[in-house]
Structure 1
Amino acid sequence: MQIQVNTGHNIEMQKDRAAEISGVVESSLSHYSDHITRVEIHLSDENSDKKEGYEDMRCMLEARLKGSQPIAVKHQAESLDLAISGAADKLVRLLESTIGRRREQQRRRADPDPSEPDQELAKEL
């Protein structure tokens, strides 16, 4: 799973801080790493011109799943750390439902149609 950190023009990001953020997101999504090819982290300060504001830090996470369209979530909070952890929590819940739905659809496709006669039983008769 590749993780890419993108920041708005008003957020300075050191390499070690970007690695720390990547580690937090990777840890949160580790259970689903087999399903994810790439995660993009977009960080921004919504009220950068005002210097302070309530819930002005924004984190948007976009996960690219194998064999399907990307999914995305966003979370705004008072700090980048809170925005990142909030978005990661939302993404985990979305992955749970998305992957669960996909598994259920695959299971239904694999189950035999009860209205059709059983092929093995028909061979025995």
Structure 2
Amino acid sequence: MHIEINAERSIQCDAALSLRVDELVRSRLAPFADRVIRVDAGLSDWCADIETDNVGKRCVLQAQLAGHEPVIADDTGETIEQATNNASKAMLEQLQHLASRKG
């Protein structure tokens, strides 16, 4: 499973953050590692341009499965790690649902 991480300018996506995001997604989607070809992770700060005390990080995941249309899941959190964890959980649920329909 190849994981591509893209972050908007407001996110400081250094090697350490990239590794944490990669590990979170890879471990959560491990049950489907043999079927998921690629995962694109888009990281953003949806409150970066708003003057507010709210902190809102967002992770959008798009998984490409062999022989299927891409599956998309997204979620938010107070940190990129939390948003990624939430989005990968949502992705896992979608993949499980897709597998149950095929099975």
Common fold by TM > 0.5: yes
Q: C-alpha distance in 1, partners of 2:84/2:60? A: 8
Q: Deviations over 1:41-91 (max 9, x none)?
A: 100001112365435210001100110100001101222111111001101
Identical columns (%): 25
Contact (CA 8 Å) 1:55, 1:76: kept in 2 or not? no
Aligned length: 103
Higher normalized contact order (CA 8 Å, seq sep 6+, divided by chain length): 2
Q: Residue 101 of structure 2 aligns with which residue?
A: 101
Return the alpha-carbon distance in structure 2 between the equivalents of residues 54 and 76 of structure 1: 12
Give ranges in structure 1 of 5+ residues lacking alignment. 104-125
If each structure's strand is expressed as a fraction of its own residues, which one has the higher value? 2
AA matched with 1:29: L
Alignment match, 2:79:
79
Give me the whole-angstrom Cα distance separating, in 2, the residues matched to 1:12 and 1:51: 19
Task: Tell me, yes or no, if structure 1 residue 66 matches structure 2 residue 81.
Answer: no
TM-score, normalising length from structure 1?
0.77
**Structure 1 runs of 4+ with >3 Å offset:** 50-55
CA distance in 2 between counterparts of 1:55 and 1:100 reads 36
* Counterpart residue number, 2:90: 90
Structure 2 unaligned segments of length 5 or more: list them: none
Partner amino acid, structure 2, of 1:33: A
TM normalised by structure 2 equals: 0.92
